């Protein structure tokens, strides 16, 4: 009796297994899938095995227009002639073949005149950036290049340097100005150069030191040959403030998903004498502008920040 029951049980299990296989095959032919119940399979390319289109990336490595804001470095000051702007060699928007600016590399030389704009002003500080940004956004650029902060440290005295909190508030205001007008515009932010490094290179030029006396960055370049404790402390104070400014630039930029900071590349770059103006030995020369353009282009076109 028991043996017969076991045989009947085995037959029942086999029957259920066969039924399950047949049912699964039937459902597969009918097109049932994970979308639920007996709903028909979706039609179109996805059903045929073609991957769904990927979402548009947040960062476009090939923006089609560029606006620049900032200070004398972005104006090409002292790169072509003494105490004179030379925007044609600007790292950001210049059309010089010697520089191959960021705009040239992104837009082609023919596109620079029509799709790039330079709103930087020699002597500008971070407090001036919101106004420059307001003028820039009127053009509707896809990328805004920012280099500002050197003049906030280059004051008559270290006490006159822009407080870090004010520097942050002004940069945040500039970013808000941009975002309110152009929520999808991208921003490249360059770090402030190492002003002490520029002093150490430029002080080898007697001509350069004479030009410095006209009032170029007195907090760092004043009494250029002095190496006493007070002078050393003054220069270190300026350098520390620049590092604080760069930390602000990085932090504020990190809060915006369409902003890229250069990671301190400009600050870390060791400008040689050939990359400094032969008139003031402080601002970038044409070769120095080319190096800044390379850093910017590398940051903007990187696959990942």
Determine, yes or no, domain membership for 89: yes
Residue 66 has pLDDT above 50, yes or no: yes
pLDDT tens, residue by residue, 255-282: 999 999 999 999 999 999 999 999 999 9
C-beta separation of 126 from 171 below 8 A: yes
Mean pLDDT of 137-143: 98
Tokens of 151: 């003049």
Residues recorded for the chain? 305
| pLDDT of 44 over the 90 cut | no
Going by C-beta distance under 8 Å and a sequence separation of 6 or more, which residues neighbour residue 67?
93, 116, 117, 118, 119, 136, 137, 139, 141, 143, 144, 145
Predicted confidence at residue 207, as pLDDT, reads 87
At 51 the pLDDT is 63
User: Could you tell me the pLDDT band of residue 37, with boundaries at 50, 70 and 90?
Assistant: very low
Residue 282 within any structural domain of the chain: yes
Confidence of residue 90 (pLDDT cuts 50, 70, 90): very high
Q: pLDDT value at position 54?
A: 58
Q: Of 215, 220, 183, 204, which is closest to residue 273 (Cα–Cα)?
A: 204
Angle, alpha carbons 75-80-84 (nearest 5°): 55
- Min mean pLDDT across 20-29, 86-95, 161-170, 192-201 is at 20-29
End-to-end Cα, the chain, rounded Å: 77
The residue-averaged pLDDT of 129-156 equals 98
Residue 8 scores a pLDDT above 50: no
Asked whether residue 37 is domain-assigned, the answer is: no
Residue 77 lies in a domain: yes
Span 24-45, mean pLDDT?
36
Give the per-residue pLDDT at 88: 98
Cα dihedral: 97, 71, 298, 176 (round 10): -130
Mean pLDDT of 65-80: 98
**Res 186: pLDDT:** 98
pLDDT at 294 over 50: yes
Distance of alpha carbon 106 from the chain centroid: 14
> How many beta carbons lie within 10 A of that of residue 267, not counting itself?
20
Residue 32 lies in a domain: no
CB 246 within 8 A of CB 191: yes
Does residue 277 contact residue 84 with C-beta atoms inside 8 Å?
A: no
Q: Report CA dihedral (258, 182, 125, 77) to the nearest 10 degrees.
A: 90
- The larger pLDDT score, comparing residue 49 to residue 253, is at 253
Q: Which residues contact 11 (CB under 8 A, 6 or more apart)?
A: none
pLDDT at 7: 44
Which CATH number do you get for residue 278? 3.40.50.1110
Instruction: Kindly report the average pLDDT of the chain as a whole number.
Output: 86
pLDDT at residue 19 in the model: 40
| Chain Cα centroid distance, residue 154 | 23
- What number is the average pLDDT over the span 192-204? 95
pLDDT at residue 4 tops 60: no
Domain membership of residue 158 (yes or no) is yes
Domain membership flag for residue 171: yes
Classify residue 31: in a domain, yes or no.
no
pLDDT tops 90 at residue 299: yes
Euclidean distance between CA atoms 184 and 187, whole angstroms: 10
User: In terms of residue numbers, what domain contains 153?
Assistant: 66-301
The per-residue pLDDT for 49 is 60
- What is the 3-state composition of the chain as percent helix, strand, coil, each rounded to the nearest 5? 50, 5, 45
Q: Residue 62: what pLDDT? A: 96
- State what percent of residues in the chain have pLDDT above 90: 76
pLDDT band, residue 58 (cuts 50/70/90): confident
Once rounded to an integer, what is the mean pLDDT over residues 53-82? 90
Q: How much is the pLDDT for 52?
A: 59
> By percentage, how much of the chain surpasses pLDDT 70?
81
Count the domains in the chain.
Answer: 1
Q: How many CA atoms lie within 13 A of 79 on its CB side?
A: 26
């Amino acid at each position: 009796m028991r043996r017969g029951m076991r045989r009947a049980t085995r037959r029942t299990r086999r029957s259920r297994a066969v039924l399950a296989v047949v049912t699964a095959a039937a459902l597969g032919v009918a097109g049932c899938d994970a979308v639920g119940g007996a709903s028909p399979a979706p039609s179109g390319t996805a059903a045929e095995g073609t991957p769904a289109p990927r979402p548009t990336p947040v960062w476009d490595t090939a923006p089609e227009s560029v606006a620049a804001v900032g200070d004398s470095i972005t104006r090409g000051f002292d790169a072509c002639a003494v105490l004179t702007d030379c925007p044609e060699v600007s790292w950001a928007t210049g059309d010089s073949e010697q520089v191959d600016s960021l705009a040239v590399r992104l837009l082609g030389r023919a596109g620079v005149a029509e799709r790039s704009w330079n709103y930087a002003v020699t002597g500008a500080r971070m407090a001036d950036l919101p106004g420059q940004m307001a003028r820039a956004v009127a053009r509707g650029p896809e990328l805004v290049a920012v280099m500002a902060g050197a003049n906030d440290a280059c004051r008559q005295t270290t006490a006159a340097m822009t407080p870090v909190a004010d520097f942050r508030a002004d940069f945040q205001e500039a970013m808000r100005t941009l975002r309110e007008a152009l929520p999808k515009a991208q921003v490249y932010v360059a770090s402030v150069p190492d002003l002490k490094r520029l002093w150490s290179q430029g002080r080898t030029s007697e001509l350069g030191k004479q030009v410095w006396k006209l009032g170029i960055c007195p907090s760092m370049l004043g009494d250029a040959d002095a190496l006493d404790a007070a002078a050393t402390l003054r220069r270190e104070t300026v350098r520390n403030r620049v590092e604080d400014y760069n930390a602000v630039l990085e932090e504020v930029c990190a809060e915006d998903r369409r902003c890229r900071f250069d990671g301190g590349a400009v600050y870390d770059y060791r400008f040689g004498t050939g990359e400094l103006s032969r008139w003031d030995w402080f601002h970038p020369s044409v070769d120095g502008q080319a190096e800044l353009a390379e850093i910017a282009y590398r940051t903007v076109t990187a696959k990942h920040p």
